[in-house]
Structure 1
Amino acid sequence: MNYTFNEIEKDIIQRLKNSEPKRIWTEFIKVIIDFEEYYVELECVPEIASSQNKVDEAMTVKVREFKKSYLPYKNAKVIVENKPITDIKSVRTFLYFTDSITEPAKVKKIDSKWNRMLSKIAGIRKSEIEKLLDGTTSSYHDEIICKPNSDEAKKVNGEFSNLIDVGIILEIGENYLPAFVQGNGYGFAHLERKPLLKSEELKKELIDYELN
């Protein structure tokens, strides 16, 4: 699947460069760039991923502009206020999935590990956990992201690959706001912990991403 920004989204992003929003907010699954008479919204949206496994999802980002004042929700949090955006980059990654492990011996080994963990958390004997899950089927696989132009990406079956624009990076003074979905996770929870990064910190976050 190709989940890259369309021309309208690219235009909205480019117009953010050298702009000065009143505030930048996060609502966990959204980032709001708030101006006097309009606002730009980045929203994390799960989409169907190209995968050899059933029900795998790709976390994408939609960029929209609204010609009205932004009214923050109760859980909205201001992360930047009255600071100009001096530069902006789009962030892209490549997502693929490993084959599911369904061999009984391997699945039993993984299930046993999880059952031990569940028994400790719930205070229930491992044998009771196994009884509760008896009759269910299990399979396991990994989701992996890497740089789109990497050797790793080139080795992946094109039928089961996903090219995704996962957000943007805003340069604000000497800091950077990483408004992009990380690790195919849902939302922008990392912005609530630490919204602004120094250059060296940002480099560590971009190991599996490319900038455009």
Structure 2
Amino acid sequence: MDKKLREYIYKETEIELIRHLRNNMPEKIWHNFVFYVFDYGNYYLILECESKEANSQNKSDEALITELTRKNEKYVPDEHSKLICENKPIDKIYIVRTFLHFSDFRNFTKPEKIANRIGYKIKTLIKGKSDPLDEIISKTTGVGAEYICHPKSQEAENVALDFANIIDVGLLIEIENKYLRAFLQSNGFGFHIWNDKYFYEVEDLKEDTELYEFIKVEK
């Protein structure tokens, strides 16, 4: 059997939604740990974190990706949702893509096993549903170390195809010369925000450019 790279990249329907977002100013942008919402009043676009099976030498490894869908209903924020901005035109938008691979398997320590079970319960609580893949992973006894790099880097070229993953992890959105990093980092679950900082200067993205490919979406 031929070795094959595994790809979790945006489908054409999702790219059309990204273009819609680029060309139509949302009334509000909301952040929740597991999703971003682009609120248009009577409908909204939602960018969600999802777990997928990864190409890896270890059966339990997962790839964390994002999926973009449209919901034809009003968005009702919950207690975990935070309003980021209102009525701000989007100047530029980029698909954020990275290359994911893993090291060989190692056994978890006892604290790591406990942390995995707790993490599974928290994810289930936040998402409001149980994911079979999450449950399997929460019961595993070990995992390989995770690595991400730029898809066009030398590091990516050196990885065997059957252990290689190309994944779209979210969006980089330019608003008023600052950047909203609406993407997953380091194959971690959820959209992590530190100190309520959502917008970054271009110079803050230098390290990101070494790990991610930013693909500009035209109008």
Name the TM tier (shorter chain).
0.7 to 0.9
What is the Cα-based RMSD across aligned positions, in Å?
2.2
Q: Which amino acid aligns with 1:147?
A: H
Superposition TM-score, scaled by structure 1 size? 0.80
In structure 2, what is the Cα distance between the partners aligned to 1:101 and 1:25? 38
Q: Is 2:68 the partner of 1:63?
A: yes
Cα offsets for 1:163-208 (capped at 9, x unmatched): 0010011110111101010100001022773110011112333320
In structure 1, what is the Cα distance between the partners aligned to 2:142 and 2:207? 32
Q: Is 2:154 the partner of 1:158?
A: no
User: What does residue 82 of structure 2 align with?
Assistant: 77
What is the 5 A alignment of 1:104-143?
141-143=144-146
User: What does residue 193 of structure 2 align with?
Assistant: 190
In structure 2, what is the Cα distance between the partners aligned to 1:30 and 1:139? 28
What is the aligned counterpart of 2:40 among 35, 42, 59?
35
Q: Is 2:152 the partner of 1:149?
A: yes
Whether the 8 Å CA contact 1:19–1:86 is kept in 2: the answer is: no
Name the CA shift for 1:69/1:192 in 2 (closer, same or farther; >3 Å): farther
Name the CA shift for 1:138/1:6 in 2 (closer, same or farther; >3 Å): closer
What is the 5 A alignment of 1:84-95?
84-95=89-100
**Higher-strand-fraction structure:** 2
Number of residue pairs matched by the alignment: 183
What is the aligned counterpart of 1:169 among 145, 154, 172?
172
Name the CA shift for 1:9/1:54 in 2 (closer, same or farther; >3 Å): same
- Provide the secondary structure at the position in 1 that maps to 2:16: helix
Percent identity (aligned): 40
Structure 1 residue ranges without an equivalent (≥5): 116-136
What is the aligned counterpart of 2:58 among 53, 75, 88?
53
Structure 2 residue ranges without an equivalent (≥5): 1-5, 113-139
Whether the 8 Å CA contact 1:17–1:85 is kept in 2: the answer is: yes
Superposition TM-score, scaled by structure 2 size? 0.77
